[in-house]
Amino acid sequence: MWVTATLTAGCALLTACGSTQHSDAPAKKPGPVTVAKAHARVPVPRGDGSKVADDFNGDGHRDLVLNDLVKQQSHADDAGIGIVYGTKGGLRPGARQLLSPAKQAAATKGRLPAVFDAEESCDLDKDGFTDLVVSTDPPYDGQGQPPVPLQVLFGSPGGLTGKAVKLSVPARARAGNDWPDQPVCGDFDGDGANDLVLHASTSQLSYLRGPFTRKGAPRAAGQPLTAPGNVPTGPAADVNRDGYDDLLVREGGDASPSSVVYGGANGPARTGFALPAGADVAFGRFGKGERALDAAIGSQGETSLRYDLAGPRTAARGSLDVPGTVLDTGDFDGDGFDELVSSGSRLRVFRGRTGGLSASAASAVITVKPPATGTTRVLAVADLTGDGRADLAVRTYRGETKDTVAVYPGRKNGVVAAEPQVTFSTAEFL
């Protein structure tokens, strides 16, 4: 799942469970946007660079990345990656871009990839424009080390406009015959430049130090790092608040144990603590009084929270009975505490407060009404409107040819708006 969460620091006490309905008046449920009602195309705004995350055109406004675009016909080929560019006040669906392997991908042995999926985003070359790391399917005969499947699209004043380049992974940073994949961005060595961590082999990670050249080469790369698992997982976060981004590494599989690996001057090289098995892990500051970020772990229909992750105490302090195990965090109401978003069978927001997450107090749990009938998943928890509060972008699937994307702005009172600010369909990209 393509998700980027707003992460801050701290934590607090978890209390009892329950639920309340959103306090705002019920809004009319918006229907899916058909291609006939597609937003009129407008030029992508031009920027001159920024420090905003996911800002591919550098205009100071966050953009949204979309994989698995719906198709005009069932069983059609994957169209590619969609980008909706942000403007003042939020996303503008008319300022959209389709990234396809035919136009943007780099060929390998004269063959363009069929797979073209967004994997990670950050400013790799320190030019003020976010870059996009894409996964492809280069030809491979199964002999020896496979080629690197990752390519980089560099941001620019006009967005992601150029051809991708292949990510360079030096031979000394590889191990075994596994695919070098599962990229995670972060400043793991604290030098102000974004680095990349990749899966290398069993319990080994490739660590590529940034900044990167426009040819996709890292500033430096050493021998693979020993890791407590096989799957590096983003987004990176400074869990123990020491100035270095830290990395979550899963053992493998959809519901496996995981560990936090601390960043430092030598990168993510020191295992900090282990977390129990869970379908998802999200970090955030849910309350007051702790030194480090809290970890929420989605497992078997409930979410456990662990506290004081910078110190020796890592026992769970409580749990919430939630209807899903896919988790995200962000500060929707701007009070300095993160909310916990749980999606699955239902979409709920658990409010962060001084005393921590709670489901017992009034307005402690917000049930978000999906924008349409279907399976709803969170796309992003991020400040898409530029007001300093996180917003909630969700996508409701209604089959291979229909979907609805909706953005619910964060609110000082009420946590998230009851009605979407904007809706559109990924079919508009085609």
User: What is the per-residue pLDDT across 347-368, written as a single tens digit (0 to 9) for each?
Assistant: 889 898 887 887 766 568 888 9
Three-class secondary structure of residue 428 per DSSP: helix
Cα–Cα dist 92/288, whole Å: 36
Structural tokens at position 123: 């400013």
Phi, psi (degrees; rounded to nearest 5) at 380: -160, 145
Q: Are 352 and 341 in contact (CB under 8 A)?
A: no
Lowest mean pLDDT among 119-123, 209-213, 306-310, 316-320: 306-310
Beta-ladder partners of 382: 391
Q: Cα separation of 66 and 95, whole Å?
A: 14
Confidence of residue 13 (pLDDT cuts 50, 70, 90): very low
pLDDT for position 24? 38
CB atoms within 10 A of CB 325: 21
Total-model pTM: 0.89
The sign of the dihedral angle between the CA atoms of 370, 376, 382, 385 is negative
Q: What is the pLDDT of residues 52-107, one digit of tens each?
A: 999 999 999 999 999 999 877 666 667 899 999 999 999 999 999 999 999 999 99
* Residue 53: strand, helix, or coil: coil
Q: Name the strand (E) or helix (H) holding 101.
A: helix 101-104
Listed in sequence order, the residues at least 6 apart from 122 whose beta carbon sits closer than 8 Å to its beta carbon are 53, 130, 131, 185, 186, 194
CA distance 12 to 123: 33
> What residues contact 36, with CB distance under 8 A and at least 6 apart?
none
| pLDDT top residue among 253 and 272 | 272
For residue 396, what pLDDT is reported? 93
Q: Is the pLDDT of residue 163 over 90?
A: yes
Distances (CA, A) of 170 to 148, 154, 176: 10, 20, 13
- Where in 143-223 does DSSP place strands (E)? 150-153, 165-166, 184-186, 195-201, 204-209, 220-221
Whether residue 389 contacts residue 332, with contact meaning beta carbons closer than 8 Å, is answered with yes
